[in-house]
Chains A and B, each alone.
Chain A
Amino acid sequence: EVQLVQSGAEVKKPGESMKISCKGSGYSFTTYWIGWVRQMPGKGLEWMGIIYPGDSDTRYSPSFQGQVTISADKSISTAYLQWSSLKASDTAMYYCARRGSGSHDNWFDPWGQGTLVTVSS
């Protein structure tokens, strides 16, 4: 079974750093792009960026460029999303999702279960 399992919920203070993870299983992790999506409380889905674990090619949404860092460790089939200095406005649910295999397969399936991040003083 293809699966993405994300790390658990986090509660942080403004200014702290954080790294959340997304572990893939049941497929060749290095040959599928992994994307990250933010969902703020009560709001819709926002694409943040995407990484190809095979060579770590990474693309960011202009809205998130410079605000987060996406990385991957293919030896343990895990992608990461990290912040160097959190803000209260980073409070949200974060999802990872696998992009389709072909160059034009621009859909996402499956999705991880989500990581809830709360940033509060």
Chain B
Amino acid sequence: SYVLTQPPSVSVAPGKTARITCGGNNIGNKNVHWYQQKPGQAPVLVISYDTDRPSGIPERFSGSNSGNTATLTISRVEAGDEADYYCQVWDSSRDHPLFGGGTKLTVL
């Protein structure tokens, strides 16, 4: 079965750039979506189709996807970006969504 691998944690200083990866076999051939979940809140879609930002999501959030790795990039990180981030694809072999294990972003 298809597996998505995320690092458990990423730390970044305010104002710097955070990169959160999501690994999967030939993930570049799939559409990857990213969610932000702040403590005590429901997940929020921040990137769809690898690179698309939904309305209301700051331009500081961007995505890329190639080969075996998709990446969520957060530029000029702010304290308010501290959250868990999850990648998601559609597992076509099982016909259902699949989430990565999540990455906790800590703003130092």
A contact set with B: CB distance below 8 Å = 35, 44-47, 50, 59, 61-62, 95, 97, 100, 104-114
Contact = CB atoms under 8 A, between A and B. Distances in A.
B88 interface: yes
10 closest residue pairs by CB, A with B: A109-B45, A106-B90, A107-B33, A111-B42, A44-B102, A45-B99, A107-B48, A47-B97, A44-B101, A114-B42
A111 B48 contact: no
Q: Select the residue from A105, A107, A109 with max chain B CB neighbours within 10 A.
A: A107
A47 B1 CA distance: 15
Interface in B54-100: 54, 84, 86, 88-90, 94-100
Nearest to B101: A44
B98 A47 contact: yes
B28 interface: no
Given A45-B99, A47-B96, A106 B42 contact: no
A78 B31 CA distance: 29
A56 to B, nearest CB: 17
Contact of B44 (A46, A47, A111): A111
A109 B95 contact: no
Contacts of A95: 42-43
Nearest to A100: B48
B55 to A, nearest CB: 10
A104 B31 contact: yes
B43 A106 contact: no
